[in-house]
Structure 1
Amino acid sequence: MVNFSPVNRVAGLISGLETQKIIEDLMKAARVPLNRLLQQKQILQWQQEDYRSINKKLMDFRLNYASPLRLQGTFQVKKATSSDETAVTAVPGGSAQPGTYSIKVNQLAEVASNVSTLALSASTTDKIDPNATLESQKAKFARPWGATTSLSFTITTYNPDGTPNSKTFTVDTTVDTLNTVLARINAEASLGVTAFYDASTDKVVISTTRTGDYPTIEIEIADVVDTFALGTLALSSTAQGKNAIVDINGLTGITKYENTFTLNNITFTLKKTTASPVLISVGTDTEKIFNTVKSFVEEFNALLDAIKQELNEPRYADYLPLTEKQKEQLTDREIDQWEEKARSGLLRNNPILSDIVYRLRRALTTPVTGLTGYDSLFDIGVRTGYYWEGGKLYVDEAKLREAINANPEAVMNLFTRSAENFEEQGLGVRLYNEVNKAINRVTAQAGSPYTLVDNSFLSRNIRELDERIETMEERLARLEERYWRQFTALEQALATLQAQSNWLAGIAGQAGSTK
């Protein structure tokens, strides 16, 4: 910006002119070109916002619909049904093969639990308080420790590979409570155990967090100083878990460390033992494929509607963006109403958006060559609307379900087939490619909705306008200063003239009085 020297502004004191208003009127006329530039900038910014709104919709459609539609995994989804879901359930992976599994649960996997073999309290009517210091409760324990107030014991667990995790706990009976001791055991994450005291049974339980009967002992407990763990708490020196034991499709005695396991890309979950086999049937999830195609059609129509709204929105050329002076004369409601018309139709009949609609429609309506079974959307119950509907799709739900149930692999190939040339590409592959191209074109024109600074066509034009606006504002500032200097000089000249006139009048008066 240009720095200007301050001007002593004299506003019509001598001349009687309304200097302030005259200069404001002169500047109002001079600001007309600047206002045009500001209006051009506002129109470009509105255009950019409209473009980016469409771009965001394209990006969301690509992520949630166009991209999944080109992947075989979208159409290879499987489902599993159980004859008794209270006993066994299953979740198939994408590569699971259809089939039936007969599963009999003979034993569930269990954690290793070390439970007090006897009640801790000497009296059933006056039990220990687990939140009071151990020393204060010593007399209530059925098997109290000796005279020492410093006790210790060790807990050892083992990793699946047999490596041990051992921790020695020291207990100060004058400070520690039973619950604080158990809390320290729980806090030792490396042991992988949980410990608690149950007041109803008056016993302590220490259990592993994993199930299974591993080759090593699951929990080992040994007293180091006194007999607090094995004596006072009546815990056992060792504890072991249990494996799940199942019969699957005639193969008996299968053992698993956990009640949830994966076999042939199917994850089974055992919930209870069974007297007879539970049948698990695995097959293609045709309902999910149906919902995928139907949701795609709905979102594709919504995307086209959004683009067509921009293409068909009326343009009110007489409604230009308001200047700041104009806004000062209107209410907020009047400003909103005016700007609604001013920014309407900025993308009307836009060639970029029109071409995007054409290409998206072509990607879905052109048959896929070289396929057996289904080669078009029409074959699976999806048809296009009339021409004036702009490519809207309609779903015949009964025909779509029938096509998916009859030949899900052909439906998959219709959408996911890979090829170099356009005609042989699957509909999902084509659509994904065309959406990518559309995003790139709109981004080149107006930028991405997720970036603040870009080098798009509209952004460059806006920056050029900013430079022109800055130059013009500097020129107008100089012009206004010049006007003030000129009018100030006029006032100063008139003041000098008035002073001279007064002086001459005084001289003439003195000459007349001497005659």
Structure 2
Amino acid sequence: MVLRIGGLASGMDIDTLVEQLMTAERVPLDKINQKKTYTEWQRDDYREMNSLLLDLDNTIFNGVAKQASYIKKTVSISNSDALSVKNVNSTIDFSGSIKINELASAATMQSFTDSKIRDSSKKLSDIGFSGSQTITISAITKDGVIQENSYKLPISEDDTLDSIITRINKDSGVTAFFDNKTQRISFTAKNTGGIEGAPEIILSDDGDSPNKFFNNILGINSNNDLAAKPREDGTVFGTAGTNADITYNGLNITRSSNTFTVNGVEFTAKKVTTEAVTFSSTPDVDGILDTITQFVNKYNELVEKIRAKTTETKYRDYQPLTDAQKEDMSEDEIEKWDKLAKSGTLKNDSILNNVLTKMRSNFSSPVSGTSTYSQLSQIGISTTANYLDGGKLTIDEDKLRAAISADPNAVYELFQKDGSTSSEQGIARRLRDTLKTAMTDITAKAGKTTSVNNTFTLGKVLNNYASQITRFEDKLKLIENRYWARFTAMETAINKANSQSTYLTNMFSS
């Protein structure tokens, strides 16, 4: 620690002198900090470009690269109150007729006598239920068969019926309801359909009489078939599940659910009909067109932003501001300066220029081995005439609509055809490969927000600048201490000389 003596003896402002000297000494450090700041800007701009590339890749993946985008159908139905039709994965147009003879229904069963429970919110121990047991529930599945792995639920005297019903409704294949007014319970299968010669709901427990949960406590049969058998007075306490009875294009079929799929088309029967309901489909031209338009717009947006960044003017006279410079400027002045200083961070960048060139090639090169279309121009998509646009795409909507209407599968093939070489691959596949290569290159250079500096090129540069800054700051401390040591020595010498002068003056005056 250097002893610092101000200018008491010399009358000089030593603090200001040292500060001015250190300002000059800090110039090389300021330059390193400016380089570090500029590199951080460059890194961030690279990452922004990578985000734009990823946005386009996601748009392609979720749009023009998905077959589902091209099998969208507009369906006409003669009686939409009785039947709904939705395309699931049919790649061709479809038509036909369906007559709904019977709807599928779910099996049910109810208590045949009042249960011992008067209040479903009270513990089972309040009605004399003691100990614990495990109840088992089996129900029909969506496939129309009884489930193999039955639902098992341990219960005890500390449970309430409400808590038991909550768990049954959440995890089993039935829905339970208890009416406190009538003290009776009902069970309904969650899935519709009937099983020939077997029940659709089976209830059991491992309790002993008179403590058996279902039969003794709730007063309900062990399955819905038993519950559905008429008693002596003709009453029934359950129903069997039924299958949907359908006549499809003249062929009689049954299904366990009112919603079923035939040849990739999903049908939902809503009510019984006396006449056949006709249906037919055509390509959803508007929907497919919208998907392709979204892709073109996203691509054009990317091209515009990359072009703007790679042709941006670089203002070499505007370097990143130092903290000292910012102190003498207003916020508005700083903002304007920074805008110019940040300009041109990616000017003529080889990675970005290369991805633009490759994407243009992806579009212009024919796709070999296709059935109908081999180039985008054949379906109404081409590059703009203005070369300054950098290869933006434009759409002839009438031509594209005609291509979609004629054969949406051929349009899909043009975008997503598989192949072992680039020339055999569809436009979307080529583009995604190009984008992934560019994103990999940018990540290697600028990393991701989660990356550590030593894993990418610019990060290593930043680490180097940080090390230089640390070393230079240590050097500046030594320089500042040296200045203070010299000025302190000067002050000490002057003070000593002044003391001697005063002594001599006093001697001669006496």
Shorter-chain TM-score: which interval?
0.7 to 0.9
Q: 1:196 aligns with which of 139, 160, 177?
A: 177
Query: For the residues of structure 2 that align with 1:375 and 1:82, how far apart are their CA atoms?
Result: 36
**Cα distance change on mapping 1:407 and 1:220 into 2, 3 Å:** closer
Look up the equivalent residue of 2:348 and give its one-letter code: N
- Give the aligned partner of residue 84 of structure 2: 89
Look up the equivalent residue of 1:333 and give its one-letter code: D
Q: CA deviation at 1:424?
A: 4.1
Query: For the residues of structure 2 that align with 1:44 and 1:216, how far apart are their CA atoms?
Result: 75
Structure 1 stretch displaced more, 469-478 or 350-359: 350-359
Identical aligned residues as a percent:
34
Find out whether 1:59 has 2:54 as its counterpart.
yes
What TM-score comes out, normalization by structure 1 length?
Answer: 0.81
Structure 1 stretch displaced more, 90-99 or 374-383: 90-99
Query: For the residues of structure 1 that align with 2:212 and 2:349, how far apart are their CA atoms?
Result: 87
The one-character-per-residue Cα deviations of 1:273-317 (angstroms, maximum 9, x if unpaired) are 222222343565444332221111111011111112212333333
- Give the aligned partner of residue 210 of structure 1: 191
Matches within 5 A, 1:102-141: 102-116=97-111
Q: CA deviation at 1:24?
A: 0.7
Query: For the residues of structure 1 that align with 2:351 and 2:223, how far apart are their CA atoms?
Result: 75
Matches within 5 A, 1:6-85: 6-65=1-60, 69-70=64-65, 72=67, 74-76=69-71, 80-85=75-80
**Cα distance change on mapping 1:63 and 1:229 into 2, 3 Å:** closer
Q: 1:185 aligns with which of 165, 189, 211?
A: 165
- Give the aligned partner of residue 346 of structure 2: 347
Q: Given that residues 109 and 243 in structure 1 are in contact (C-alpha distance below 8 angstroms), is that contact kept between their aligned partners in structure 2? A: yes
**Cα distance change on mapping 1:169 and 1:335 into 2, 3 Å:** closer
Query: Please, which runs of 5 or more residues in structure 1 have no aligned partner?
Result: 1-5, 122-127, 137-147
Q: How many residues align?
A: 481
Matches within 5 A, 1:317-336: 317-336=316-335
State the secondary structure of the residue aligned to 2:209: strand
Q: Given that residues 70 and 426 in structure 1 are in contact (C-alpha distance below 8 angstroms), is that contact kept between their aligned partners in structure 2? A: no
- Give the aligned partner of residue 464 of structure 1: 464
Q: CA deviation at 1:479?
A: 0.6
Q: Given that residues 48 and 446 in structure 1 are in contact (C-alpha distance below 8 angstroms), is that contact kept between their aligned partners in structure 2? A: yes
**Cα distance change on mapping 1:398 and 1:119 into 2, 3 Å:** farther
- Give the aligned partner of residue 474 of structure 2: 474
**Cα distance change on mapping 1:166 and 1:493 into 2, 3 Å:** closer
Structure 1 stretch displaced more, 492-501 or 161-170: 161-170
Q: CA deviation at 1:341?
A: 1.9
Matches within 5 A, 1:135-284: 149-150=128-129, 157-159=137-139, 160-161=146-147, 180-188=160-168, 191-198=172-179, 204-214=185-195, 215-217=197-199, 218-220=201-203, 224-225=209-210, 235=220, 238-239=223-224, 240-252=240-252, 254-281=253-280, 284=283
**Cα distance change on mapping 1:501 and 1:164 into 2, 3 Å:** closer
Structure 1 stretch displaced more, 477-486 or 500-509: 500-509
Q: Given that residues 58 and 435 in structure 1 are in contact (C-alpha distance below 8 angstroms), is that contact kept between their aligned partners in structure 2? A: yes
Look up the equivalent residue of 1:334 and give its one-letter code: E
Query: For the residues of structure 2 that align with 1:484 and 1:50, how far apart are their CA atoms?
Result: 44
State the secondary structure of the residue aligned to 1:275: coil
**Cα distance change on mapping 1:373 and 1:210 into 2, 3 Å:** closer
Query: For the residues of structure 2 that align with 1:343 and 1:465, how far apart are their CA atoms?
Result: 19
State the secondary structure of the residue aligned to 1:210: coil
Q: Given that residues 185 and 193 in structure 1 are in contact (C-alpha distance below 8 angstroms), is that contact kept between their aligned partners in structure 2? A: no
Query: For the residues of structure 2 that align with 1:275 and 1:131, how far apart are their CA atoms?
Result: 48
Q: CA deviation at 1:27?
A: 0.8
Quote the RMSD (CA, aligned, Å). 3.5
Q: Given that residues 78 and 96 in structure 1 are in contact (C-alpha distance below 8 angstroms), is that contact kept between their aligned partners in structure 2? A: no
The one-character-per-residue Cα deviations of 1:311-358 (angstroms, maximum 9, x if unpaired) are 233333322211111112223232222212221232233343233222
Q: Given that residues 63 and 295 in structure 2 are in contact (C-alpha distance below 8 angstroms), is that contact kept between their aligned partners in structure 1? A: no
Q: Given that residues 109 and 241 in structure 1 are in contact (C-alpha distance below 8 angstroms), is that contact kept between their aligned partners in structure 2? A: yes
Query: For the residues of structure 2 that align with 1:394 and 1:77, how far apart are their CA atoms?
Result: 23
Q: Given that residues 122 and 161 in structure 2 are in contact (C-alpha distance below 8 angstroms), is that contact kept between their aligned partners in structure 1? A: no
Q: Given that residues 155 and 221 in structure 1 are in contact (C-alpha distance below 8 angstroms), is that contact kept between their aligned partners in structure 2? A: yes
**Cα distance change on mapping 1:155 and 1:496 into 2, 3 Å:** closer
Look up the equivalent residue of 2:498 and give its one-letter code: Q
State the secondary structure of the residue aligned to 2:187: strand
The one-character-per-residue Cα deviations of 1:341-380 (angstroms, maximum 9, x if unpaired) are 2212322333432332222222212333454532222211
The one-character-per-residue Cα deviations of 1:382-428 (angstroms, maximum 9, x if unpaired) are 12111112212111111101011113233223222334444443222
Q: Given that residues 183 and 195 in structure 1 are in contact (C-alpha distance below 8 angstroms), is that contact kept between their aligned partners in structure 2? A: no
Query: Please, which runs of 5 or more residues in structure 2 have no aligned partner?
Result: 140-145, 225-239
Q: Given that residues 78 and 93 in structure 1 are in contact (C-alpha distance below 8 angstroms), is that contact kept between their aligned partners in structure 2? A: no
Q: Given that residues 136 and 151 in structure 2 are in contact (C-alpha distance below 8 angstroms), is that contact kept between their aligned partners in structure 1? A: yes
**Cα distance change on mapping 1:242 and 1:182 into 2, 3 Å:** farther
Look up the equivalent residue of 1:381 and give its one-letter code: G
State the secondary structure of the residue aligned to 2:280: strand
Query: For the residues of structure 2 that align with 1:133 and 1:424, how far apart are their CA atoms?
Result: 71
Q: CA deviation at 1:73?
A: 5.4
Q: CA deviation at 1:201?
A: 7.9
The one-character-per-residue Cα deviations of 1:147-199 (angstroms, maximum 9, x if unpaired) are x8448999653252566556686779xxx9xxx42542342466533322457
Query: For the residues of structure 2 that align with 1:305 and 1:485, how far apart are their CA atoms?
Result: 60
Q: CA deviation at 1:71?
A: 5.3
Question: Which one has the largest radius of gyration?
Answer: 1
Look up the equivalent residue of 2:391 and give its one-letter code: G
Query: For the residues of structure 1 that align with 2:68 and 2:187, how far apart are their CA atoms?
Result: 44
State the secondary structure of the residue aligned to 2:100: strand
Q: Given that residues 116 and 204 in structure 1 are in contact (C-alpha distance below 8 angstroms), is that contact kept between their aligned partners in structure 2? A: yes
Query: For the residues of structure 1 that align with 2:215 and 2:455, how far apart are their CA atoms?
Result: 75
Q: CA deviation at 1:74?
A: 4.5
Look up the equivalent residue of 1:44 and give its one-letter code: T
Query: For the residues of structure 1 that align with 2:473 and 2:153, how far apart are their CA atoms?
Result: 77
Look up the equivalent residue of 2:209 and give its one-letter code: V
Query: For the residues of structure 1 that align with 2:303 and 2:83, how far apart are their CA atoms?
Result: 46
